[in-house]
Structure 1
Amino acid sequence: MTYTDPPLIFWGRCRSGRRWFWTANEHDGEQIHGWADTPDEASRQANAAALKLAAGRYANVRVQHGIATQKLKQLNAAKRQAKTPKPKRQQTMVTPPANPIGYLYAVEPGRYDLDDLTWIPGKVVSFPITRTTARRVYYLRPRGPFEWEPGYVDRQELERHGTVRGARWLQLFAEAPEIPKPKSTPGLKELKGAMAAAHPDRGGTDEAFIAARERYLKAFRRVA
């Protein structure tokens, strides 16, 4: 006749908000848990679960409420982890193809370089098209000095209107647009030079200097 040690079964209970949590588990074996409205009901259900785990065998049943506290912490941690939003997938940086199937175009507007007060004219920039489907045109757009990320636009809208709104409120064109030439107005650098030349210390008058200074400040505020 072979003698085996009786199974060791623990059960316990602890408060869980306004209710009571209980658990019963066989050492290195099956585990059962649940909730009850009162501590007495939690004890009754935990003891019944311990008898169920014993399954008619002679068992060594012990009350150890700490196992209920530990199990409840594990369940709450798993619940919080399930609610934590997954981090957004980082956009994959790609390299522009050597021979794209086409281009989308946009206008980079002109601007003043406030360091030396010179006007940098606008220009047309191109974005390589990587592939097209019946509904979309996929292209690459710059994200940094040497970084490109994929994007797409509605193909039907692009073909219907010749232009479509892209990412970051950028207007994209199917054909390279023409940039209208700006009117020949003096830039900040020229206006600053005229203001200096009109200074009374350089032979100008107070009225001429004030007028030149006003023209410069008005242009500077417009640029800023």
Structure 2
Amino acid sequence: MPATDDPPLIFWGRCRSGRRWFWTANEYDGADAHGWADTPDAASRQANAAALRLAAGRYANISVLHGVATQKLRQLNAAKQAAKAPKSARTGAVPPPDPIGYLYAVEPGRYRLDDETWIPAKVVQFPIAKKTPKRIYYLRPRFLYMPGPDWEPGYIDRQALERHGSVYVPHWLSLFAEPPEIPKRAPAPDLKELKTAMAAAHPDRGGSSEAFIAARDRYLRAKARAA
């Protein structure tokens, strides 16, 4: 009987980490493995072997994508730095009682995980703690959808904000000087189109690691919602 599910997507990659080489292998929304090796060849062998272990005898799409190693290493280093920080910094800052202003962002609409209820997008605001001629310092929630007491400091380029009205914070959100208009909800994406876009973004077809990772995430999120 032919399988009805798509084969799992497993990626492995390596990147330099000081004098050694870091490697990782991961299955989307599944298990992952990582480690270090003394040479790039050794890192590749260990990463490939880990990918085969993650496949566990299943037919799987295993691809080499070194960007996943860079991404994983950054996450590990960030966690290590957070563990070294003072307890007060790890638990998050408290929003100032009298902020000198606010920055604004659009919290994207999303499906609630427990019952798949659609939660519409909304405008959220983050207090400004300080302004200098070059920067605007503000507080934002450590977790986007959990704006409770766990906040962390951030800053943006003041001149860019005043010039364009908004500034994009990498891997987070666009911040606006004024409350933005919430875009209308787009129709459900076509899985076939997303899969084609993911394939076109692969480095082997002229794309980049970053573009492929973003396209893969869009496809798999849409697939999970459709399921």
TM-score bracket relative to the smaller structure: 0.3 to 0.5
TM-score (norm 1): 0.41
TM-score (norm 2): 0.41
